[in-house]
Structure 1
Amino acid sequence: MADYLLFATERYALPILAPLAQALHASGQRVSAWFEGNARGLEAQVAPFVHPVDLKAAVALRPRAVFSAANWVPPFVSGAKVQLFHGFNVEKRADTRGHFRVRGLFDLYCTQGPATTAPFRELAQREGHFAVAQTGWPKLDPLFRDDGGASAALRTPAGERPVILFGSTFTERLSAAPLLIEQIAADIALGERYWLLTLHPKCPPELFASYRALAGPNAAFVEPEQVMAAQRAADVLVSDTSSIVSEFIVQHKPVVTFRNRAPKPHMLDFDDADRLPQLLRQALAPTQALMAEIVRYAGSIHPDRDGHSSERVIAATEDFLSGELGVLKPKPFGARFRALQIRKELGYWGRGAR
């Protein structure tokens, strides 16, 4: 039995780490979690058997591997540092600042699909200080296996009506939430469709209050921890430039996007809020051409549909630790500077694990 550590800084990391925690536990391993920032104190929401630890305990634990759903990880904790990602590449910003930014903190990147794997393998070949394995994304495991009736429970109030899920990014300049609320409220009032409403945990509290107020016989508000069940329950997603678009599309279901930063053929994108009902009708009766684009894109970002990405992450980590993924070069000088910044931010100057 070995010790493994989960690391997170935001609440949205919980559904990413939960399936991995379950897979580690099922294989007989000990699972601990060190959560900082907005994720602090939420370890029990990942799984009841996950042992919460603080920074000093995480160092003393000397885990075999640290799985991070943040864009950083404390380098002074022992074990392989494994990047799981907190979303898909949805082109919110330039590659050098976004999905493909490499800071020298991770040993292994577990990529979601070919669209992410190829760029990271090019970077790994050039940089030499990290390895890459295409595993799929643990967060999506619940989409493709029994979820204990969670999705059915969300869908039951809809009866025979189609179910529409709304989810929005927190990035203010890209968020549809404040711009579509009147049109969504009007559609909810008609009652022809049943809505599941959710927001990114970092959205403003007043926006949360506005959307929670829409709940009733024709709509329900869904907490961030229920989002995967909501995606299973819904027929169509309405969103913007959020990673949830890519998460939803892997189920081969239509998405309607409002002013997406980089619209693609698999999306039904629109820029006039009053056209929302029209786009919903199109999404609920998709053309063969649209479905072909959806299937093609889903295959490029996340071809695995077996619900076992977590097991592949564990296997890839063991391959890395056994040397099967090659020998890494030393971390770049910039990584040492970043390590000092992390120590300063955390207020920790104790000895790291060797």
Structure 2
Amino acid sequence: MICKHRRYLMYISQNYSYAILRPIQKYILSQGGEVCWFLEGDEVDSSYLLTQETKLKTVKEVVDWKPDAVFVPGNTVPRFIPGVKVAVFHGFDSGKRSSKRGHFNIRGCFDLYCTQGPATTKPFQYLATKYGYFDVVETGWPTLDPLFEDNASNPYVDDNDKRPVILMCSTFSQSLSCAPTLFNKVKELSEKGRWRWLVQFHPKMPLEIVEKYKSLQNDNLQFIETDNVLPLLQMADVMLCDTSSVLIMFLLLGKPVVSFRNQSPSSYLIDVVDPSKIEGSIEKALTKPLEIESAINDYSKQVHPYQDGKSSARVVVATNELIENGLTNKRRKPLNLIRNFKLRKALKYWGC
């Protein structure tokens, strides 16, 4: 299934989506296809676009360009944009929301779901049978292709600092975020200087929390704002997190996570509910207990068994097969009149 002479649109609304879709872009371009980007809304920064990347500024430009396929790491995409609509997800199912409201919420927008592993494939296959207007192909998550590659130019490497690296990440959800509660503990631990701290939050984290953690920066702690978390995951020895799906990406590297009040505490996590237990839990994680390593390995096989760096290729192959052969499922996709009206209004587009 070739890409040559085909056009592929990257449809994004958040800065983290750049890193999600660039591995797909890399593969498409290597096969002779064309790629353009469309940025929806004011939460995505066009300055993150690379010099060689092409941005379509309006919906009319997108419609006139006539993409063959549209890759979406978000939850919705307008029906009036041409091309088959492909969901590639913006993260893993971390259990922050119920299935009906979260990862498995079917909004009637997509023709193809490219799932990450058995844990998501099976539920989506059931939903495909139930709804009958989209297909499901297990491809692995293209975002992670670079994660399993050696990154000799990792910007966070410090050859002069041999201390263990602790990466703190947190979701923005007020009820789930560990950032507010753990501020004083992280301040205390960073001042001890035993470990090197890297701190990175979800882009929707409230500004006041971000500013508080920025104030902690010293020789032991660095606050990082980036559209690409993968080098941070590669760099760290242990993650401190809450219920953010980024912890799943870290586990896929076989590394331990100390979670704080996780919504679904499991054997592959070192979960704590008391901030006073954080230091001891990190110490435990750094010893890499065999029982936790085994649990992480079993979990990874279900969530994302692919470590060959070829998930992007599988996504594009599945997309091209859909373009050429049509849907396996034949029911008509819902019109989504209200949602598409809202999207037209937001995007200021009233054409065909």
Task: Verify same fold: TM over 0.5.
Answer: yes
State the partner residue of 2:95. Answer: 91
Contact residue 21 and residue 46 of structure 1 kept, 8 A: no
Distance in 2, matches of 1:215 and 1:17, equals 31
How far is the alpha carbon of 1:36 from its aligned partner?
Answer: 1.2
Pair 1:157–1:191, CA change in 2 (3 A): farther
**1:61-100 equivalence runs, <5 A:** 61-100=65-104
State the partner residue of 1:312. Answer: 314
How far is the alpha carbon of 1:328 from its aligned partner?
Answer: 2.7
State the partner residue of 1:156. Answer: 158
Q: How many residues align?
A: 347
State the partner residue of 1:323. Answer: 325
Greater displacement, 236-245 / 210-219 = 210-219
How far is the alpha carbon of 1:148 from its aligned partner?
Answer: 4.8
State the partner residue of 1:6. Answer: 10
State the partner residue of 1:302. Answer: 304
State the partner residue of 1:336. Answer: 337
Pair 1:215–1:158, CA change in 2 (3 A): farther
How far is the alpha carbon of 1:174 from its aligned partner?
Answer: 0.2
How far is the alpha carbon of 1:158 from its aligned partner?
Answer: 6.5
What SS does structure 1 have at the residue aligned with 2:255?
coil
Match status 1:133 vs 2:143:
no
**For residue 64 of structure 1, what is the amino acid of its counterpart?**
D
Pair 1:45–1:197, CA change in 2 (3 A): same
Distance in 2, matches of 1:328 and 1:172, equals 41
TM-score calculated relative to the size of structure 2? 0.94
Pair 1:346–1:208, CA change in 2 (3 A): same
Contact residue 15 and residue 48 of structure 2 kept, 8 A: no
TM-score calculated relative to the size of structure 1? 0.94
What SS does structure 2 have at the residue aligned with 1:11?
coil
What SS does structure 2 have at the residue aligned with 1:34?
strand
Distance in 2, matches of 1:41 and 1:239, equals 26
How far is the alpha carbon of 1:325 from its aligned partner?
Answer: 5.5
Residue deviations 1:247-294 (CA, integer Å, cap 9, x gap): 111111100100011111111000101111001011101221111100
Contact residue 18 and residue 47 of structure 1 kept, 8 A: no
Contact residue 111 and residue 327 of structure 2 kept, 8 A: no
Contact residue 155 and residue 234 of structure 1 kept, 8 A: no
Distance in 2, matches of 1:124 and 1:147, equals 38
**For residue 346 of structure 1, what is the amino acid of its counterpart?**
L
Distance in 2, matches of 1:71 and 1:29, equals 25
Contact residue 27 and residue 313 of structure 2 kept, 8 A: yes
How far is the alpha carbon of 1:296 from its aligned partner?
Answer: 0.6
Question: Which consecutive aligned stretches of 4+ in structure 1 deviate over 3 angstroms post-superposition?
Answer: 38-41
Aligned-pair identity in percent equals 38
Find 2:191's aligned residue among 164, 189, 192.
189
Match status 1:17 vs 2:17:
no
Uncovered stretches (5+) of structure 1, i.e. residues with no partner: none
Residue deviations 1:174-213 (CA, integer Å, cap 9, x gap): 0001111111111111111111110100001121112222
Greater displacement, 253-262 / 211-220 = 211-220
